[in-house]
């Protein structure tokens, strides 16, 4: 049997992408190059709060940024989800140990919120995560928040909204969202914007990074799983489809961004769309 050779050296290839084959070393270069393209395009420099979920994507994101020698402050939000949150925290801690960082941990319970009490915890959880990420980054003097959203997830999320008729929920579909100091809003970056699910998985594996395989017990929701499978089939038939969709989303986002009006929450003083922010509304309930 013919083994596939790397397009850049004579070693055995482990992955093919966009017409090139890669050995382990050159796959690492390829991956880092994709991440670097975002860091360079938006001239990212200064302290970055890295949101670790314990999962493969944020592990890959953290490791790539670490290799680019950026100034990183990793943090984890413990959401208090049974048989899940503590396991993920352990993995995030293990990863920080591997790379020589101290993990910062934020507990949702400290804000009086118990996700268990909600019928549909995911939207409350999403609001709380976004809020706490921003607050952590702001209080620690970070200029950016980096999350592990990858290309497959971004396109799946947008398609899900599109298919359900919620085109206006299409927010944040670009690799860099500007911060606004006057609204205590920290800029967000998605370093894995151009990298697919399986590429992030491979990067995590070959670099032996700690990550949790557990899925959130609340997230086992059929629509996005089906949509992702469908998108993966499209991508397999025509490589580059996901990237092209992401490019379109980015353009759309730029058009839509102009109509957003921000306020400061009259309760906590952080950024809000209305008078009181969603997080404070949840806490009041």
Residues of this chain that interact with ligand AMP (CB under 6 A) are: 51-53, 57-58, 76-77, 79, 129, 147-149, 153
Residues 6+ apart with CB under 8 A from 276: 265, 266, 267, 284
H/E stretch holding 73 = strand 72-78
Name the minimum Å distance from CB 14 to Zn ion. Answer: 9
Using rule CB under 5 A, residue 60 touches Zn ion = no
Using rule CB under 6 A, residue 123 touches ligand FES = no
> By the 8 A CB rule, do 128 and 108 touch?
yes
Name the minimum Å distance from CB 12 to ligand AMP. Answer: 31
- Compare residues 23 and 189 and give the one whose CB is closer to ligand AMP: 189
Name the minimum Å distance from CB 55 to ligand AMP. Answer: 6
> By the 8 A CB rule, do 74 and 50 touch?
yes
Using rule CB under 6 A, residue 101 touches ligand FES = no
- Rounded Cα distance, 160 and 263, in Å: 28
Residue in 248, 254, 273 with CA at minimum distance from that of residue 262 = 273
Pick from 218, 224, 234, 283 the residue near ligand FES by CB under 6 A: 218
Q: Residue 6 binds which one of ligand FES, ligand AMP, Zn ion, none, with CB within 5 to 8 A depending on kind?
A: Zn ion
- Rounded Cα distance, 49 and 132, in Å: 12
Using rule CB under 5 A, residue 271 touches Zn ion = no
Residues 6+ apart with CB under 8 A from 218: 81, 115, 121, 122, 125
Residues 6+ apart with CB under 8 A from 271: 134, 180, 183, 184, 185, 262, 263, 264, 265, 277
Q: Residue 23 binds which one of Zn ion, ligand AMP, ligand FES, none, with CB within 5 to 8 A depending on kind?
A: Zn ion
Using CB under 6 A, count the residues that bind ligand FES: 7
- Considering only 139-147, 178-186, 216-224, 268-276, which stretch makes contact with ligand FES by CB under 6 A? 216-224
Using rule CB under 6 A, residue 88 touches ligand FES = no
Using CB under 5 A, count the residues that bind Zn ion: 11
CA dihedral for 51, 55, 60, 63, sign (positive or negative): positive
x/- map, 24-43, Zn ion, by CB under 5 A: --x-----------------
Count of alpha carbons within 13 Å of 224, Cβ hemisphere only? 11
- Compare residues 28 and 150 and give the one whose CB is closer to ligand AMP: 150
- Rounded Cα distance, 109 and 77, in Å: 10
Q: Residue 277 binds which one of ligand AMP, ligand FES, Zn ion, none, with CB within 5 to 8 A depending on kind?
A: Zn ion
H/E stretch holding 272 = strand 271-272
The binding site for Zn ion (CB under 5 A) comprises 6, 8-9, 11, 23, 26, 265, 267-268, 277, 280
Q: Which residues bind ligand FES (CB under 6 A)?
A: 79, 121-122, 125, 216, 218-219
């Amino acid at each position: 049997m013919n083994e596939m050779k790397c397009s850049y050296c004579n070693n055995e290839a482990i992955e093919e992408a966009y017409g090139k084959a890669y050995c382990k070393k050159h796959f690492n270069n390829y991956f880092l190059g994709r991440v670097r393209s975002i860091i360079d395009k938006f001239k990212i420099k200064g302290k970055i709060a890295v949101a670790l979920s314990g999962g493969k994507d944020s592990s890959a994101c953290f490791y790539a940024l670490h290799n680019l020698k950026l100034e990183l402050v990793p943090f984890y939000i413990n959401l208090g989800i049974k048989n899940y949150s503590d396991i993920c925290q352990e993995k995030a801690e293990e990863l920080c140990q591997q790379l020589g960082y101290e993990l910062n941990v934020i507990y949702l319970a400290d804000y009086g919120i118990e996700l268990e009490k909600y019928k549909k915890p995911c939207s409350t959880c999403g609001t709380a995560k976004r809020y706490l990420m921003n607050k952590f980054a702001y209080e620690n003097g970070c200029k950016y928040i980096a999350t592990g959203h990858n290309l497959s997830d971004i396109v799946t999320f947008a398609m899900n909204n599109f298919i359900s008729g919620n085109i206006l929920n299409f927010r944040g579909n670009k690799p860099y969202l500007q911060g606004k100091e006057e609204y205590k809003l920290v800029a967000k970056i998605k370093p894995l914007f151009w990298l697919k699910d399986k590429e992030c998985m491979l990067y995590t594996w070959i670099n032996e990074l700690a990550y949790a395989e557990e899925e959130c017990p609340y997230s086992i929701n059929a629509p996005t799983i089906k949509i992702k499978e469908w998108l993966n089939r499209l991508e397999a038939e025509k490589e580059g489809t996901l990237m092209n969709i992401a490019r379109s989303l980015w353009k759309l986002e730029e058009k839509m961004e102009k109509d957003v009006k921000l306020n400061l929450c009259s309760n906590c003083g952080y950024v809000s769309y209305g008078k009181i922010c969603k997080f404070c509304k949840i806490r009041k309930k």
